[in-house]
Structure 1
Amino acid sequence: MKIWILCSLLLIGASVCNAQDKPLAVDERGKLIYYEVVDCKGLPKDSLFARADAYFKKAGKRFSSEAVVGDSLFESSAKLIIQKTALVMSRPSGEVRYNFYVEVKPEKYRFWFTDFSFIPYQRDRYGNFVPSTTVGTPLESDPGKLNVSEWQSYQKSTAKETGILAAKFKETMANTIPVQLPVKKAEAISTKKW
């Protein structure tokens, strides 16, 4: 009887630990996506826009290109490195390139990571890990029978890293320190022209 209780507790514990990996969702285009809408009661659009702009400026070189589309949408592309760990040693296995979008409205904002593509690494003649190709494989594609477990580990690690990036972004957007809004310089009044 004690063995059955112990086995059932271990099984329940294993299922709870396994359920903590939240996979990436699939959008209407069939691409993997991490999407979130956040309500910020009492915050105007200008304040949220300034905070998002400050986040992109603070991130620096992490995001390769930043573009403001219209008056409320940020577009950016970036990459994250997937590490492969064996016992104590860790080495880069590849990189995942993705697009990051932020849209701001009064009292709420939404952001999403999408268009994930994996580029494997290989060693060059100097022993450095470099991308083996410039064309990425979409992370939602079918890897075949031989690479299934490795491909799933890439997807899990991408989901974990995007969750961490999302938490950092939400922390920056929830920052209560007021961001300096740009102040228009007052025009000098000329008494000679009228």
Structure 2
Amino acid sequence: MNKLFIRKAEHEDLRRIKELHDDLLCVKYGHHFYEQLISGHGYTLLVVVLNGQIIGFASFRIEWLNQKEEITTQAGLLTLGIDKKYQTQGIGGYLLEKGCSYMKELGVSSIYLHALASNIPVHSFYQNHYFVHENTVKNYYHFDKTYQDAFVFRRRFDKKLHSHFAYWMDSVLEIFETCCC
């Protein structure tokens, strides 16, 4: 039986995480980015491990906002990816839900992310996980000598709705862990 689990990344994981980033993402990051993710100072980097090998990652940054004299927090989902060999098996959704649950436990009110405006499959993936398209940022990305627009998606945590969804999702995840991994 395959053993799949999610844990916080450790410093010795960075080489593999960078390999996956470079293979899966259009935006390339320098060494400082990865060091910052592992620092724990407002950042969380999760990895999916299957049979002892890292096959995916999700990185979050927690931000504090002062709105109408009330301090709230939100999280930015910076990166998320699953090794191409393991895509379309539900592992990315599993990682996303575990990451969202963890961010909610930390007290964030919402999670936002940027996605290439042209990447329709990614939009569907996030919308299937309760992220809503909020707006478009023109020329947000710059790679391959061109500028690309980004869609901003956000998932808000309504305590009443989320508690029912979390209960249901925990049941689904238990079944997934038992049957599929």
Please, what TM-score do these two structures have when normalized by structure 1? 0.23
Which of 1 and 2 has greater Rg? 1
Higher relative contact order (CA 8 A, sep 6+): 1
The structure carrying a bigger helix percent of its residues is 2
